[in-house]
């Protein structure tokens, strides 16, 4: 997700554009364009497929096989929903960015806003998970009073509301439009710029291609003052609230948990946080590089830079942003390979899907298969009533 207009250098030009934001000459991002084409076509496609399958598995498990019985369950279910929101929006964003945005301003706002909401809610929910584990282990005496499903649902509602509030600038300022200089560098090889002698000639050269190629979905501001403010405010808020704040919360909580476990000399309780800790570590590993690149870009946003340097910065943002996307498909993998209870529920899902497949392939055995599935459901209910209220990640 780009919070700035890609391809701007601080080189003055005499050409006046409709939204000049201090009138800067665009750079031709040749290296970044090549990287983006490969990343969007191959890596993002794999991320979407794996993320869709994995998060559907988590949601189905909670919906039909393992009801959310603890605060951690509720938090992890909401993380899966946030990731589903992202992987559904990402293919549409990729398609429109590859061929020119054709879905209009409403879809532009909704899809870009969905990514922003997912970013904030996912990080804040992981901070909530670490706080929940902190209360359960470090503040064990208070855990029964503080860790209730009602509290978890209220907290999740507050997290989603805050994520939506923080995403308001995205919903307001993202638009689909035809910028006068969005792809100027892309046409240096297609137009004879030796004939360009006036600003009007340059404008004609820019618009010589079809209008459809220029439709983009990006931030669009009413004036230069707003542009300068939002280009700093939006990424700064993303880094502060969407990364550094959760990082501080997780660091405090898990440091306290480790200290408590070492003093207690009871490493059985360490298993209760192993999966959650792994999820948090993976999430941080995915998002730290992108936030570092975003911080560097924000600090140098209004400084004079060479186009080659700007191009390299955009490549770094593109690559690290792709690494950040990985979180939506890595979390379900962690549940499947580390969580013992989740693997048991996954096995039950496979068994029931196999039975449904047999029913479709052999309709004559419909009644028998239905009976088998009914017995399987009864067994699940009995198993569920005999287990405790702990999370399946325990």
What is the H or E stretch that residue 72 is in?
A: helix 71-99
Q: Which residues have CB under 8 Å from 215's CB, separation 6+?
A: 100, 101, 102, 176, 177, 178
CA-CA distance, 262 to 390, in Å (whole number)? 23
In the chain, % helix, strand, coil (3-state, to 5) comes to: 75, 5, 20
388 backbone dihedrals φ, ψ, rounded to 5°: -85, -175
Helix (H, G, I), strand (E, B) or coil at 155: helix
pLDDT of residue 121: 92
- Contact present, 301 and 4 (Cβ < 8 Å): yes
**What DSSP character marks residue 126?**
H
pLDDT of residue 258: 79
Domain ranges of the chain: 8-178+215-338, 341-385
Joined together, the tokens standing for residue 386 give 């005999």
DSSP 214-277: G-EEEE--SSHHHHHHHHHHHHHHHHIIIIIHHHHHHHHHHHHHHHHHHHHT-TTTTHHHHHHH
Find, among 110, 35, 51, the residue nearest to 329 by Cα.
51
- Contact present, 59 and 80 (Cβ < 8 Å): yes
Distance of CA 261 to the CA centre of its chain: 32
CA-CA distance, 89 to 91, in Å (whole number)? 6
- Contact present, 282 and 330 (Cβ < 8 Å): yes
Strands 174-177 and 24-26 turn out to be unpaired
- Contact present, 84 and 47 (Cβ < 8 Å): no
What is the H or E stretch that residue 177 is in?
A: strand 174-177
Find, among 288, 284, 326, the residue nearest to 44 by Cα.
326
Mean pLDDT per 10-residue interval, the chain, length 394 residues: 44 38 57 81 88 88 76 86 88 76 86 89 90 84 74 92 94 84 44 46 44 70 84 91 92 85 68 69 87 90 80 88 88 70 76 71 56 47 44 44
Distance of CA 2 to the CA centre of its chain: 13
Q: Which residues have CB under 8 Å from 138's CB, separation 6+?
A: 253, 256, 257, 260
pLDDT of residue 18: 40
**What DSSP character marks residue 3?**
S
Joined together, the tokens standing for residue 358 give 């047999």
- Contact present, 140 and 261 (Cβ < 8 Å): no
Terminal alpha carbon distance of the chain: 34
pLDDT of residue 332: 80
**What DSSP character marks residue 176?**
E
CATH of domain 8-178+215-338: 1.20.1070.10
Find, among 117, 121, 119, the residue nearest to 109 by Cα.
117
pLDDT of residue 1: 45
pLDDT of residue 362: 67
């Amino acid at each position: 997700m780009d919070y700035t207009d890609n391809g701007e250098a601080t080189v003055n030009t005499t050409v006046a554009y409709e939204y000049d934001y201090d009138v800067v000459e665009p750079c031709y991002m040749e290296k970044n364009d090549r990287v983006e084409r490969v990343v969007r076509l191959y890596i993002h496609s794999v991320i979407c497929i794996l993320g869709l399958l994995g998060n559907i598995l988590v949601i189905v498990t909670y919906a039909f096989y393992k009801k959310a019985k603890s605060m951690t369950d509720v938090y992890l279910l909401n993380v899966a929903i946030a990731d589903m929101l992202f992987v559904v929006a990402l293919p549409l964003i990729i398609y429109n960015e590859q061929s020119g945005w054709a879905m209009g301003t409403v879809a532009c706002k909704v899809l870009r806003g969905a990514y922003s909401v997912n970013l904030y809610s996912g990080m804040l929910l992981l901070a909530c998970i670490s706080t929940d584990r902190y209360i359960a282990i470090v503040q064990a005496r208070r855990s029964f009073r503080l860790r209730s499903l009602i509290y978890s649902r209220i907290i999740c509602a507050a997290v989603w509301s805050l994520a939506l509030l923080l995403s308001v600038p995205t919903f307001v300022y993202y638009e689909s439009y035809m910028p006068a200089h969005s792809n100027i560098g892309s046409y240096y090889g297609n137009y004879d710029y030796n004939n360009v002698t006036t600003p009007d000639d340059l404008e004609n050269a820019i618009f010589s291609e079809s209008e459809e190629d220029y439709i983009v979905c990006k931030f669009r501001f009413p004036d230069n003052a707003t542009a300068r403010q939002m280009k700093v405010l939006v990424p700064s808020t993303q880094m502060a609230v969407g990364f550094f704040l959760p990082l501080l919360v997780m660091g405090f909580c898990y440091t306290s948990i480790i200290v408590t476990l070492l003093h207690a000399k009871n490493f059985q309780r360490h298993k209760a946080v192993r999966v959650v800790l792994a999820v948090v570590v993976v999430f941080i590993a995915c998002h730290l590089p992108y936030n570092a690149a975003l911080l560097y870009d924000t600090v140098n946003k209004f400084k004079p830079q060479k186009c080659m340097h700007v191009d390299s910065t955009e490549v770094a943002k593109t690559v690290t942003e792709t690494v950040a996307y990985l979180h939506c498909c890595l979390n379900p993998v962690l549940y499947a390979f580390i969580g013992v209870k989740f693997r048991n529920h996954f096995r039950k899902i496979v068994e029931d899907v196999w039975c449904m497949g047999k029913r479709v392939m052999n309709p004559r055995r419909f009644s028998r298969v239905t009976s088998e599935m009914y017995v399987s459901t009864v067994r699940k209910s009995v198993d569920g009533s005999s287990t405790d209220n702990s999370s399946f990640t325990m």
